[in-house]
Amino acid sequence: MTPAQLDAAPFGEVEHVFPLPHAPGAVSAVRRRIRTLLTDWNLAADFAEDVLLVVSELLTNAIVHALPPATLRLSRSQAERCRAIRVEVTDMGPVTPAGLSTSTHDPDEHGRGLGIVTALAARCGVRVHSGGTSRWAELEFGRS
């Protein structure tokens, strides 16, 4: 990202909240809305694609492995001279108790999503709280 692109991106804390319908096609519908938002924020195309990939992986994880409803929070912040996008998906917790298998999917076809998130994010984690489980990732896009 060039300095001009960074300067064009809006500053300050901004947060958008998107409820996730627990239905087929929900992830692609939310991705379209997020793509428009990231374009409005003037982010570089390759960085926006990384954000969209993280959004897709966290949302898909919530639909496949967790109880509804799920909510996506997308925020942009600047802290300690670093600009970042935070993606956080909150759901109502796992479909099955910890330690039990949630599917019979072929491990070669599934299970890479959180690894992708970890690879793309500067920081990521999981927080269990009274409102459910939140998985989050922060992607840095520049220093000021």
Cα gap 52→18, rounded to integer Å: 14
Domains and CATH numbers, the chain: 3-95+109-143 (3.30.565.10)
Query: Given this model, what pLDDT does residue 19 score?
Result: 92
Please report the pLDDT score of residue 5 as a whole number.
39
Query: In sequence order, which residues have a C-beta less than 8 Å from that of residue 105 and are 6 or more positions away?
Result: 111
Mean pLDDT for each 10-residue chunk of the chain (144 residues)?
A: 41 82 88 94 94 96 92 86 91 75 49 86 95 95 69
Predicted model pTM: 0.81
User: In terms of C-beta density within 10 A (0-12 exposed, 13-18 middle, 19 or more buried), how is residue 23 classed?
Assistant: exposed
Backbone angles phi, psi at 81, to 5 degrees: 65, 15
CA 96/CA 141 separation, integer angstroms: 36
Residue whose C-alpha is closest to residue 87's, from 17, 7, 28, 12: 17
Question: What's the length of the chain?
Answer: 144
